[in-house]
Amino acid sequence: MFEVVLDWDMMNYFILIGVLLFVGKIVKEKLPFLNKVIIPTALIAGFIGLILSEGFIGLIPYERGGVLKDIVYHSLAIGFIALSLKRDTNKTTKKIWSTGMIIVIIYLLQAIIGAGVVVLFFKDIFLGAGLLLPLGFGQGPGLATSIGAGYADGVGVLIDGAALGATIASIGFLVGGVIGVIALNFLSRKHNLNVDKIHKENSTIKETFEFESIKELRVFDALTAQIAIIFVIYGAVYLTLVFLEGFLLPMLGDLGETFAGVFHGFNFLIGILYALLFKKILVYFDSKGKNVNFMTNNYILSNISSIAFNFLIAAAVLTITIESIQRYYLFVIILAVTGSLFTFLLVKFLVKRIYDEKYQVHYFLGMFGMLTGTASTGLALLKGVDSDFTSPVAEEMVLGSGTAISMALPLFALLMFPGLAITSGNNFYNVLVFLVPGIYMLILIGVVLFINRKK
């Protein structure tokens, strides 16, 4: 009689997350103190579900593996593909590249700090656990959860890796949202800046829609077009992973298994590359006089990525287990404290030497929020001192994130080194975990200070 209900397994999780997002939005709107700190509604939703889950209060039973990890895994890729498809409407300037370099420098610092915490205090924990710090703080729960799961399932040496990644990322949100607000109020008083004390999640983006005919609107609307393109690209990602994991990497034996485990978590990265290639093709046709503007719509792509990332954040928090908290709580505390402290200090150091004094507070708040939470955390902190985004800071942060991706892409190879050290028995890979980011960080610091030197 109820056989059809059995087919609702995955949909039940989407319903659960949707309900939690709805409740989280109401809770944030009705509790004034939550509007005085910068915490995403999706994070609140995830924590509500986590508290009500088995192992805590126990009102909502759900399986933490399987479907939830799949939602995180695929939402991450879909969100990044959507962002990568957005058309560039601004010309790159020197400060945008400087901002991108600062972002990558902090990623590198966080990687060194994370690995250092493991080596100095937790030798029994897999070295890759330390690399979850820049993923969780710098990129958010999706990437940290996905790579953590790869270390657990693919490499097989990090128990509860997905839950650990989600925990680190959640702590990063709290650092950006709480410590960031404290810094906002302190610096605004020190520099006599007006502060918007209520942090609402309102969008100020405006977009004009153009339709060639009613028929076009009815048959193939802009939203459908964006979703179709995203899934065509994601289909190419799937075929690439099938080729890599099914044919190419097995030829490498144990080494191939290690690569396959980590590559599986790089679905988002492959998606970014294909999306950028697709965008280049559109630019080429546009240069030849072909009308291809209807293919992508920045406003809709932003909303698709927002939906994907909201589901991602909530699902990632729901993967946290009481066992992972008990196993890693001391490691996470030390990792978060040291990571936050050094991030705070280096961002402050670089901002003071690169940007005009007039906007140094703006850049510091935005960059610190972005490099502990996400870009939205940084923009929310920035909005506290620049409510209408009249300064150039918001634009440079967003565009700087794009340049940072191009500079940080080679560093994803770094995530494979701890696993390679185990499968190959060569400890030099662990040395490279410190050596590569250390050298790259010093080079970037030298470059960014040189091009922004006072003349």
User: Tokens 């209408």, residue?
Assistant: 388
pLDDT band at 219 (very low <50, low <70, confident <90, very high): very low
- How much of the chain, in percent, has pLDDT values that exceed 70? 83
pLDDT, tens digit (0-9, with 9 covering 90-100), for 361-419:
888 888 888 888 777 677 777 777 776 666 777 767 777 777 787 787 777 788 888 88
- When divided into structural domains, the chain yields a total of 1
The whole-number pLDDT of residue 186 equals: 82
pLDDT band at 3 (very low <50, low <70, confident <90, very high): very low
pLDDT at 455 over 70: no
pLDDT band at 193 (very low <50, low <70, confident <90, very high): low
Do residues 341 and 170 lie in contact, with contact meaning Cβ atoms separated by under 8 Å? no
The whole-number pLDDT of residue 444 equals: 92
User: Tokens 């390679």, residue?
Assistant: 420
CA dihedral 121→122→124→125, nearest 10 degrees, is -150
Q: Which long-range contacts (CB under 8 A, 24 or more apart) does 216-222 make?
A: 222/294, 222/297, 222/300
pLDDT at 194 over 70: no
Q: Under 8 Å CB-to-CB from 302, ≥6 apart: which residues?
A: 82, 83, 86, 205
The CB-side HSE value for 396 (13 A sphere, CA atoms) comes to 24
Cα(79)–Cα(141) distance, integer angstroms: 13
The residue-averaged pLDDT of 326-343 equals: 90
CA dihedral 39→45→48→50, nearest 10 degrees, is -100
The whole-number pLDDT of residue 90 equals: 53
Residue 60: strand pairing partners = 53
Q: Higher confidence at residue 275 or residue 387?
A: 275
The whole-number pLDDT of residue 442 equals: 94
Token duo for residue 258 = 């290690």
Among 163-167, 226-230, 275-279, 422-426, which is the least confidently predicted range?
422-426
Token duo for residue 360 = 């140094």
Average pLDDT score, the chain = 79
Cα(262)–Cα(144) distance, integer angstroms: 12
Residue 185 domain boundaries: 3-451
pLDDT, tens digit (0-9, with 9 covering 90-100), for 71-114:
888 888 898 888 888 876 555 455 778 888 899 999 999 999 99
The whole-number pLDDT of residue 61 equals: 76
The whole-number pLDDT of residue 335 equals: 92
Do residues 92 and 402 lie in contact, with contact meaning Cβ atoms separated by under 8 Å? no
Q: At residue 132, what is the residue type?
A: L
Among 153-162, 165-174, 230-239, 445-454, which is the least confidently predicted range?
153-162
The residue-averaged pLDDT of 292-320 equals: 83
pLDDT band at 205 (very low <50, low <70, confident <90, very high): very low
pLDDT band at 204 (very low <50, low <70, confident <90, very high): very low
Do residues 411 and 112 lie in contact, with contact meaning Cβ atoms separated by under 8 Å? no
pLDDT at 218 over 50: no
The residue-averaged pLDDT of 197-208 equals: 49
The residue-averaged pLDDT of 142-152 equals: 80
Token duo for residue 389 = 């985004």
**Across 202-216, 246-260, 383-397, 410-424, which has the greatest mean pLDDT?**
410-424
**Across 148-152, 220-224, 383-387, 389-393, which has the greatest mean pLDDT?**
148-152
